[in-house]
Chain A
């Protein structure tokens, strides 16, 4: 592979853009196809569309019978945690080990300190401001764990509107009932609101903050890997 092509591929991946590398196995010739920037006349346009949905790399025979290998790169899953709380302290390293790119957002200076969280993933600002700079996308999971509607509601609404692959919110059933009313009033549909994982996390009887973090991460992985109908 040409180093310039490898650089273009890595730049697209770093910018969280979906991209596909096409390799002619007979000749070694290669090119990149960027999602959302495929010419209609491109002989691989239809196949690229399918691949960007499935995320699966694999072999493909083109119209001339040449054997191609298509390497599909979708953005790696990201986890945005609203709330620099005790659960988050356990969830951050666990999610990183599982391969997630993790961000923590909390406007409360007492919680969002660099003594408690790595500076490079911490945003000590309101979600409204941080998400304007770093928008959510469908390759992102959002977990809101502050218990405070002033902080949690806006990012939850954004996550549902953006189609984040996982949206979870901490709180009792009663707390969640009130949250549902507020989100309905904000104009979200019942179908959208039903996507919220609440009470948050897989039901494993989690008691400590670290155990709750395990249950939240398990729910996120299930949302990422399992088809919706089997969850």
Chain B
């Protein structure tokens, strides 16, 4: 029973939202937590979906780094090239955001629906 599979409330499933947005023709990116060290707030496998207007659903960190992930996701939506982001104390100067809990996370950001473009 993975804790990443249960959504908070019915109708708030991030991957279903991602499919709906992609079908509506919205340009979107999907961010996934792929690795965590220390006390990271969201488990590996957590998703955040972002569209080209900066609207988003889901979470990868409980609010600490979402802003930076969204900014990077807008680049990914434009370039159609996936990228890996790393956040944490060690990267504070590089990203100017960090996890207040002291943990570190790695996030994979990929374009959605690339094949249809």
Which of A's residues lie within 8 Å of B, judged by CB?
Answer: 1-4, 6-7, 9-10, 13, 23, 25, 28, 55-59, 69, 71-77, 96-101, 139, 165, 224-225
Complex A-B: 8 CB contacts under 8 Å: A28-B82, A57-B2, A57-B4, A58-B44, A69-B34, A72-B45, A74-B2, A99-B6
Known: A55-B2, A224-B1. A3 touches B7 (CB 8 A): no
Asked if B112 lies at the interface with its beta carbon under 8 angstroms from chain A, I say yes
Q: Which listed residue, A73, A76, A96, A165, touches B9 by the CB 8 Å rule?
A: A96
Does more than half of chain A's interface fall in helix, strand or loop, or is it mixed?
mixed
Interface residue stretch chosen among B13-21, B67-75, B93-101: B13-21
Task: Report yes or no: A13 in contact with B15, Cβ–Cβ below 8 A.
Answer: yes
A10 engages B15 (CB within 8 Å):
yes
Residues of B within 8 A of A (CB): 1-10, 15-16, 18-19, 22-23, 30, 32, 34-35, 43-45, 81-82, 84, 108, 110-116
> Is the CB–CB distance between B44 and A99 below 8 Å?
no
Please report the C-alpha to C-alpha distance between residue A225 and residue B3 in the assembled complex, in whole angstroms.
Answer: 9
Cβ distance B2 to chain A, nearest Cβ, rounded Å: 4
Kindly list the 4 A-B residue pairs having the minimum CB-CB distance in the complex, ordered from nearest. A57-B45, A99-B6, A55-B2, A3-B113
Q: A3 touches which one: B2, B10, B19 (CB < 8 A)?
A: B19
A9 to B23, CA, bound (A): 15
Residues of A within 8 A of B34 (CB): 25, 58-59, 69
- In the complex, the chain A residue whose C-beta lies closest to that of B84 is A25
Q: Which of B4, B108, B114 contacts A2 (CB 8 A)?
A: B114
A56 contacts across to B, CB distance below 8 A: 2, 44
- Let me know if A71 and B45 touch, CB within 8 A: yes
Cβ of B19 and Cβ of A10 under 8 Å apart? yes
Q: A3-B112, A76-B6, A99-B6 are in contact. Are A225 and B1 (CB under 8 A)?
A: yes
Nearest Cβ on chain A to B107's Cβ, whole angstroms: 11
Nearest to B5 among chain A residues (CB) is A76
A52 to B85 Cα, complex, angstroms: 27
The residues of B that contact A96 with a CB separation of less than 8 Å are 9-10
With the chains together, A21 CA to B82 CA distance in Å? Answer: 16
CB contact between B110 and one of A28, A73, A165, A224 (< 8 Å): that residue: A28
On whether the beta carbons of A165 and B1 are closer than 8 Å, the reply is yes
Please report the C-alpha to C-alpha distance between residue A10 and residue B116 in the assembled complex, in whole angstroms.
Answer: 18
- Residues of chain A within 8 A of B2, CB atoms compared: 55-57, 72-74
CA distance A2 to B115 in the complex (A): 6
Cα(A10)–Cα(B35), bound, Å: 23
| Across-interface contacts of A3 in B (CB, < 8 A) | 19, 22-23, 112-113, 115-116
